[in-house]
């Protein structure tokens, strides 16, 4: 359980993604927002790991998280989650299969979480649970599409511009090393692109 102020942050986050159709839905979301638990965590804290693990829906109260995908002998930062956004492994939460990705905090962060079981089975009216699940699928699909837009840009500067247009405070929330990884650029190319923006 959380204090009123904190649960209000989560309610606000839920209302930002969930279009209310009936009054009872608002009430249900309010109940749901009170079920989240809060954790203050250090940089490098793992929200979920590869494999079936930690089937939670997370809300980033402060800080930022990065989602990594392993390939060959390396891994890449494929998505990041910033303050006031929901984070989840769609593999685990939606498709109930082992997660291909892992997610860690990139900075000291405050993370709220709720287990899938509470989210879908116990707390919520079935209609609200099903609608929320469907919204999370759409959210995830749209985020992947937006990330693809960024990565389709053929120059480092355009990639950086595209990423900033999606997340205006990007440069303040992601360390440069992770940003270079996220954009698929060498650190030298990232710094050249940043220079063109007047940031170094």
Partner 1 sequence: MNSNQEAMRVYFQSLPVYTPAFKATVNSVVEAVGESVFKKKGQVVEELTLHNKDFWFLKSGYLKEMYKNPFEKEDSLFNLIPPQSIFVNEDALFNDTHPQHYFITYSDVEFIRFKFEDFERINSERPMLQLLYLSGTAEIQKNRRARLLMLRMRNTLDRVQWVKDVRPELYKSMDRSTLAQYIGVSRAGLYRAFEKSNRFQF
Enumerate binding residues for partner 1 (CB under 8 A).
69, 71, 76, 78, 90-91, 94-95, 97, 100-101, 137-138, 140-142, 144-145, 147-149, 151-155, 158, 161-162, 165, 181, 183-186
- Of 21 and 40, the one with the shorter C-beta distance to partner 1 is 21
Is residue 53 packed enough to be buried (19+ CB in 10 Å), middle (13-18) or exposed (0-12)? middle
- Of 9 and 120, the one with the shorter C-beta distance to partner 1 is 120
From CA 67, how far away is CA 98, in angstroms rounded?
Answer: 15
- Whole-number minimum distance, CB 196 to partner 1, in Å? 13
Sign of the C-alpha dihedral, residues 186, 192, 193, 194? positive
- Whole-number minimum distance, CB 83 to partner 1, in Å? 22
- Of 49 and 162, the one with the shorter C-beta distance to partner 1 is 162
- Of 118 and 157, the one with the shorter C-beta distance to partner 1 is 157
The DSSP H or E segment spanning 122 is none
- Whole-number minimum distance, CB 1 to partner 1, in Å? 32
- Of 94 and 110, the one with the shorter C-beta distance to partner 1 is 94
From CA 29, how far away is CA 50, in angstroms rounded?
Answer: 29
- Whole-number minimum distance, CB 157 to partner 1, in Å? 9
Quote the tokens at residue 26.
């608002």
Q: What angle do CA 1, 38, 15 make, to 5 degrees?
A: 80
Q: CA dihedral defined by 58, 49, 174, 156, rounded to 10 degrees?
A: -120
- Whole-number minimum distance, CB 186 to partner 1, in Å? 7
């Amino acid at each position: 359980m959380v204090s009123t102020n904190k649960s209000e942050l989560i309610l606000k986050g839920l209302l930002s993604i969930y279009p209310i159709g009936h009054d009872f839905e608002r009430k249900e979301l309010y109940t749901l927002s009170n079920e989240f638990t809060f954790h203050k965590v250090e940089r490098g804290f793992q929200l979920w790991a590869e494999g079936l693990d930690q089937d939670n829906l997370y809300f980033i109260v402060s800080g930022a998280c990065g989602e990594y995908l392993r390939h060959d002998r390396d891994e890449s930062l494929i998505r990041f989650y910033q303050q006031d956004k929901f984070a989840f492994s769609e593999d685990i939460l939606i498709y109930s299969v082992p997660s291909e990705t892992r997610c860690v905090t990139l900075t000291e962060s405050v993370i709220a979480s709720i287990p899938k079981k509470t989210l879908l089975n116990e707390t919520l009216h079935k209609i609200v649970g099903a609608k929320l699940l469907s919204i999370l699928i759409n959210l995830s699909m749209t985020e992947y599409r937006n990330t693809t837009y960024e990565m389709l840009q053929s120059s480092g500067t355009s990639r950086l511009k595209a990423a900033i247009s999606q997340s205006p405070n990007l440069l303040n929330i992601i360390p440069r090393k992770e940003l270079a990884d996220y954009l698929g650029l060498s650190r030298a190319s990232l710094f050249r692109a940043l220079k063109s923006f007047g940031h170094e």
